[in-house]
Structure 1
Amino acid sequence: MLYFLVEFADQFSALNVFRYITFRTGGAIMTALLFIFLFGPMIISSLRLRQGHGQPIRADGPQSHLLTKKGTPTMGGLMILSGMIVATLLWANLANPYTWIVLGVTVGFGAIGFYDDYLKVTKASHKGFSGRSRLGLEFLIAGLAAWCVTLLEVGAHGTSIGFPFFKDLAFNLGIFFIPFAAFVVVGAGNAVNLTDGLDGLAIVPVMIASASFGLIAYLSGNAVFADYLQIHHVPGTGELAVLCGAVIGAGLGFLWFNAPPAAIFMGDTGSLALGGMIGSIAVATKHEIVLAIIGGLFVLEAISVIVQVASFKLTGKRVFKMAPIHHHFEHLGWTESQVVIRFWIIAVVLALVGLATLKLR
């Protein structure tokens, strides 16, 4: 919204500052953060009042969770998404189609997660939305977003994927790009969802990934930087840095209330939405494979669940003491804070490796 003030820059030169993505990204960070600080306590009180017993805690999980987390309200993603959307609408260029594509995925996945959280709370069970129905809706939203991305990017470039560490290597998937891109978005959403199991565990890696892809989006959308780094130049994607900034600001505000002992949980409302958002930005900027590196922690969490389920069904034995893998380390004797902080460190290292691929080509 504020971007349109540049139309009056000829009369007031100071308004030229709204042309710069970096300035508006900083504005989005501060706006989302301020929104959460102002309205967060009210949102938490309202959710606690309406939910009563809060998020159901798994009986087969670590026994300490039954004591320390019982009664904590969920759906904290509403707080994150509210701050993020307000900041985006205020600071982003609303004429940019990528802004609406990514916002569409974020809100769509958030709505699915909200319904899942609602069922869990009302039924007082950790089982929510039907898995097949949920995945079907996610693939529908992600597939539509992928199709829109292909329409925005001319020729074979729109249906190609790039490979890190190689300058000119790209593979045109043709019509198969849409299901591939949808898989990336849905996979990212559910991987972040699986990671959200301890206080502060998911939100910090999400902010790290958002900062990384905010930089990637800015560089990919700038012809000069993209040419220098020899990465895919995708005009218009630079605006997605503003959305990433909004997530960082909202995430910082949410972490204030989610820090141990958490006053609120993110829930599927937030984890699905934020994961889907990061996945859609990776698709738009042609960095789908780099997402697997930067979001390696999320990938590890998802793989641990897949391995655990497959092993139990095939052999009747479990590979991990409990999946996702963060609970495995809790069963090994790590405290919750040790698991969370060490996983944050892993997320930072993987993000640095992923960003290094921009130059190591």
Structure 2
Amino acid sequence: MLYNLLYPLADEFQIFNLFRYITFRTGGAVMTALIISFVIGPRVIRWLKSKQGEGQPIRTDGPETHLKKKGTPTMGGLMIMIAVIVSTLLWVDLTNTYTWIVLLVTVGFGLVGFGDDYLKLTKRNTKGLSSKVKLVATLVVAAVATGWYLMVTPWEMGTGLALPFFKDLLIHLGWFYVPFAIIVIIGSSHAVNLTDGLDGLATVPIMIAASCFGLIAYLSGNAIFSNYLGIHHVPGTGELAVFCGALVGAGLGFLWFNAPPAMVFMGDTGSLSVGGALGAISVITKHELVLAIVGGLFVLEALSVMIQVASFKLTGKRVFRMAPIHHHFEKKGWSEPTVVIRFWIIAVILALVGLSTLKLR
């Protein structure tokens, strides 16, 4: 909004020329989202406590140390969503369609997560929405977002799949790209959701992935940089860096309250919305496979659940002591802070590997 209001006045007031630069507006989005999180955080937590009573239901079959978390409110993702949406709308170019697509996914998946959290609280169990309802709801949102994206993007570019480490290679999938993009968005969302199981565990990897894709979006949207690096130039994606900046700021603010011992849990409200947004950004910037590397920790968490379920159904035996895999290490005796910090380190390493694909081509 500030860009649309103030940049046209740059000829009269030179200082408004700053709003021309995506880097300046991204920095503004980071700080704005951070401040919003700090300001509304205590109020949101008090409100959630007043409405939720006993807080998020705790799994009785989980690590024993989790029982002491009883009474901690969930739906803290509301704090992230408010900070991200307000900050993005304030600093982004409102005429950029890609931003609206990502916001659609953020809000749509957030509403699904909110419904899931609400049912968990009212029914006082850990089930929430059925898996079928959750899948169908996210499928509809992802399908609408994918269709909108293909409407505003040249067909050859929109339906192309770029391979990391290969310069200018774009595999055209045609209509097969539609289900592929939907799977990326939904898969990213649910992978982040599975990772959100310990205090602060998902928050930092989310910020790391958002930082990486903020850079990728900026480079992909810049003709000079994309040509130099040999990545595909997608005009307009630079504005997504502002959204990513807002997500980083909101994540920092949320981490202040989510750091061990957590005052509030992110809940499906936050994890589904943020994961879906990252998936949508990877689709728009043509870095879908890079997301699997940068967000490799999320992939590992999701794979651990799939392996556990498949193994138990086929053989009756479990591969891990408990899935997702962060609970496996807790069951082995690792303390929660140890699991969280070591997983953060893994997330940083995978992000560096993912960023290396921008140059190693």
Same fold (TM over 0.5): yes
Following TM superposition, by how much is the alpha carbon of 1:262 offset from its aligned partner in structure 2, in angstroms? 0.3
In the alignment, structure 1 residue 62 sits paired with structure 2 residue 63:
yes
In the alignment, structure 1 residue 310 sits paired with structure 2 residue 310:
yes
| Residue identity matched to 2:85 | I
The residue correspondences of 1:5-84 to structure 2 (distance < 5 A) are: 5-67=6-68, 69-84=69-84
CA RMSD of aligned residues (A): 0.6
| Residue identity matched to 1:338 | T
**Per-residue Cα deviation, 1:138-185 (whole angstroms, up to 9, x for no partner):** 111111111111122213111001000101221111011111000000
1:188 aligns with: 188
* TM-score relative to the length of structure 1: 0.99
CA distance in 2, matches of 1:265, 1:64: 16
| Residue identity matched to 2:42 | P
CA distance in 2, matches of 1:196, 1:333: 19
The residue correspondences of 1:164-313 to structure 2 (distance < 5 A) are: 164-313=164-313
CA distance in 2, matches of 1:168, 1:2: 35
* TM-score relative to the length of structure 2: 0.99
**Per-residue Cα deviation, 1:246-292 (whole angstroms, up to 9, x for no partner):** 01001000000000100000000000000000000000000000000
Q: Secondary structure at the match of 1:318?
A: coil
CA distance in 2, matches of 1:23, 1:210: 17
2:133 aligns with: 133
- Decide whether the 8 Å contact of 2:168 with 2:232 is kept in 1: no
CA distance in 2, matches of 1:154, 1:197: 40
- Decide whether the 8 Å contact of 2:25 with 2:91 is kept in 1: yes
| Residue identity matched to 1:51 | Q
CA distance in 2, matches of 1:181, 1:254: 29
CA distance in 1, matches of 2:176, 2:147: 11
**Per-residue Cα deviation, 1:195-238 (whole angstroms, up to 9, x for no partner):** 00000000100000000000000000000000000101000000
Structure 2 unmatched runs, 5+: none
CA distance in 1, matches of 2:40, 2:167: 46
Structure 1 unmatched runs, 5+: none
| Residue identity matched to 1:35 | I
**Per-residue Cα deviation, 1:264-323 (whole angstroms, up to 9, x for no partner):** 000000000000000000000000000000000000000000000010011110000000
CA distance in 2, matches of 1:100, 1:343: 32
Q: Secondary structure at the match of 1:73?
A: coil
Following TM superposition, by how much is the alpha carbon of 1:243 offset from its aligned partner in structure 2, in angstroms? 0.3
Corresponding pairs, count: 360
CA distance in 2, matches of 1:144, 1:42: 34
Following TM superposition, by how much is the alpha carbon of 1:38 offset from its aligned partner in structure 2, in angstroms? 0.9
CA distance in 2, matches of 1:50, 1:100: 31
CA distance in 1, matches of 2:42, 2:297: 30
Q: Secondary structure at the match of 1:171?
A: strand
Q: Secondary structure at the match of 2:137?
A: helix
1:333 aligns with: 333
| Residue identity matched to 1:273 | S
CA distance in 2, matches of 1:89, 1:39: 18
**Per-residue Cα deviation, 1:13-46 (whole angstroms, up to 9, x for no partner):** 1100001000000000000100111111010000
CA distance in 2, matches of 1:252, 1:74: 18
| Residue identity matched to 1:132 | K
**Per-residue Cα deviation, 1:88-110 (whole angstroms, up to 9, x for no partner):** 11101111000100000000000
